[in-house]
Structure formats: structure tokens, C-alpha cells
Amino acid sequence: MPLALYALTAGAFGIGVTEFVIMGLLLEVSRELDVTIAAAGLLISGYALGVTIGAPVLTALTARWPRKRVLVGLMVIFIIGNAACALAPTYGWLMAARGLTSLTHGTFFGVGAVVATGLVAEDKRASAIAIMFTGVTVATVLGVPFGTWLGQHYGWRASFWAVTLVGLIALIVLTLLVPQDRTQPEASDWRADLRAICRRPVLLGLLTTVLGYAGVFAVFTYIAPLLTEISGFAESAVSPILLVFGGGLVAGNLLGGRLADRDLVRAIFGTLTVLALVLALMTFALHGQVAAVLFTGLLGAAGFATVAPLQMWVLSKAEGAGQSLASSFNIGAFNLGNAIGAWAGGVVIDHGPGLAFTPMTAALFPLSAIATALIAVRASRRTALAPSCSSPVL
């Protein structure tokens, strides 16, 4: 794999840390800025919403730019946004700075996925995407715990200064290692890009992503209370167990890329099926501590094994001018799935069968994703040119 691919991984690492590090610093932020913990939690929701909205908009606005210039420009915005977070004097300022930073997220991964696939041979494209997304998994395993520790000992602003430094390093390696575009990006307008995205296989692929990832976050959002209240672990044991989850992320991410390179369709159905089984069986595994640790790792592996196949599907069905925009839309779909899953898990806990049944209920999401993917594959096989926005798509 070329060094340029690992430059993209460095950028992905920084973005992964800035998205999730705030989860471990809610108490510190709420105390210093004099807001409730619930209000501090909205900094996470606000970021996810910014990703969902900003990804397609910013990608469309930069569609005619050389892709290297887009990536470098996004990293500059990322640096400015995190520095603004570190300097934020008020809650409103911090929310706005988080919103600015979130705009870079979807477009970086969307455009970066297109660049990554262009750096390698065709039979290694999904693996290239998986390697780029390894930056997020490493951020989850190492970056977020370190950022949380740093914020707890030296103040939450120190964590954002550290992420700003990571952004500077990523900017340097992106500038030095990512090659200039071999050809000028295809001239297109947002109407043409939307027509490419409104093809039925692409839309169904996006829906598959939302449903699949909703299942992961319906459980992961509440993993701490599941481990303490259901499995009986002490609160101090949660962080080490989450390292097992992170190890599963890395393994599942790389495995999903290899499987997608061999057979994309089988990889999609296979990874979603395994995810549904893991979630369903986790309901029972949580009642034994050894099994709970094992299935926490399996959840990470099964959840992230779906990433490269789902991203590759959307890319493969949006060839040409709309490819970068479709890729960015899919990053937004992952984040929308995160938000829906967290909400659904909360509904199950507050109004449904309760915390212990969260994994079993979450399994319904990947099962729905499998049904959606089946429709998408059949639609793709029926016709090479799916309908545009001016025609029925569902």
C-alpha cells in the first residue's frame, strides 16, 4: 500500500479523536461552562448533525477542486475549528466551533475514500478504504482514551489543543505524500451529482448503511450501563473492556475490506448477518462476565466489518461525477445511523422491555439492513442505469 494512503489514515485519526473525545469530558465541560450534563451531551449530537448536513453540501461546493486541494483545505478548517474549541469562552462558542469542525468530517472521508481507491489496483480498493478508516479505529482505541486522560488531568481544553497538534501533523503529511490529481476532476454541477445519487441502488445503499449502523450504536451508546448493571462489572473495569471493543474494531475493519475485495455482495450480506447474530446473542452473553467481554470485542469487529463493504457499494454504484458526493452522503448515513441507534436504545430503556433487552432489539436494525440490501442488489441487477430524481426511485 502506498504511503499516501497512510497520510489519509493520519487525517482520519485526528477526525476520529475530535468526534468522540468529548464523550469522556462531559463532566469537565459542564462544570467549567456552567451547563447541565444533558446540554454538554448536545455537543455530540450537534457534531453528528453537522456531519450529516455538511458532508453533501461541502462536497458539492468543492466538486470542481482538485481532490488534494480539498483534503488539505479541510484539514486547515479542522485545525482552526479545534483551536477555536480550545479557546471557547462560552458554551455557545464551543457548540459553534464543534459545528465548524464537523463540516470537515464527512467530506474528508468521502473524498478521501475516492482518493484511496485511486491509489491502488482495482482488486485492492476496498482494502484501501479499510486502511484509511483504520485511523478512526486507532482513534477509538488509543486517541480517545488518551485525550480523555489528558482532559481530566490538565483540563478539557488541553485535549482540543492536542487534537489541533494532530491536525497540524496530518496537514504536513497530506501535503507531502498525497499526489496531485492525475486528471482534472470531471466538470459537473450539483444537479448531475444528485442525479447520480438518486439512482435506486445508491439510495438503497445509503439506507442500508443507516440501518446497519443504527444497530451498532443502539448498544454501544449504552455499553457502560450494560456492563455495570447487567454484567456486574465495576465502573473502573469499563475502560479496559472498551479496549477489547477497540481491538475488535481494528480487526473487523481490515477483515471487512479484504472480504469486500473478494466478493462485495457476499461481504455485505455476510457482515450484516454476523452483526445481527452478535447483537441477538449478546442479550444472553451479558449475564456472564467472560462472555460479556468476548461479545464486546465481537460487537466492535462485526460492526466495523460492515464499513468498507457499505462504503464500496455506494462508490461502485455512483460512478463518475457523483462519486465523491455519494461517498460523503454515505459518511452522513453512518452518522445518521449513530443518532437513530442512540435514540432507539434510549426508547427501549425508558419505554420498552428495558436495558437488558437493548441488544436483542438492536438486532432488528441489521436484519432490516439485510432486507434493504437484497432489494438494492436486485435493483442493480435488473438495470445498469437506475432511475434519476425525475423518476420513481422506490
Angle, helix 67-87 to helix 91-118, in steps of 10 degrees: 160
Residue range 86-102: average pLDDT?
92
Residue 389 has pLDDT above 50, yes or no: no
N- to C-terminal Cα separation, the chain: 39
pLDDT of residue 88: 92
pTM of the model: 0.73
The full length of the chain comes to 394
For 317-344, what is the mean pLDDT? 75
| pLDDT at site 331 | 77
Q: To the nearest whole percent, how much of the chain has pLDDT over 70?
A: 89
Calculate the average pLDDT of the chain: 82
Collapse the DSSP code of 125 into the 3-class scheme (helix H, G, I; strand E, B; otherwise coil) and give the result: helix
| Structural domains in the chain plus CATH codes | 1-184 (1.20.1250.20), 186-383 (1.20.1250.20)
Position 330 confidence tier, pLDDT thresholds 50, 70, 90: confident
**Cα dihedral 148→151→157→158 (10° resolution):** -100
Please give the pLDDT value at position 391.
38
Q: How far is CA 76 from CA 128, 143, 180, 196, 337, in A?
A: 24, 20, 18, 29, 28
Closest CA to 306 of 345, 279, 282: 279
For residue 269, name the pLDDT band (cuts at 50, 70, 90): very high
Ranked by mean pLDDT, the top range of 22-26, 100-104, 273-277 is 273-277
- Say how many CA atoms lie within 13 Å of 322 toward its Cβ: 21
Enter the C-alpha cell of residue 2. Answer: 502506498
Q: Which of 308, 377, 369 is nearest to 340 (CA)?
A: 369
How far apart CA 13 and CA 7 sit, in angstroms, is 10
Residue 393 confidence (pLDDT)? 36
Residue 47 has pLDDT above 90, yes or no: no
CB 208 within 8 A of CB 372: yes
142 or 386, which is more confident: 142
Largest CA distance in the chain: 59
Asked if pLDDT for residue 392 goes beyond 90, the answer is no
| pLDDT confidence band for 85 (50 / 70 / 90) | very high
pLDDT at residue 280, rounded to an integer: 94
| Confidence (pLDDT) at 185 | 55
C-alpha distances out from residue 245 to 141, 277, 307, 376, Å: 8, 17, 16, 30
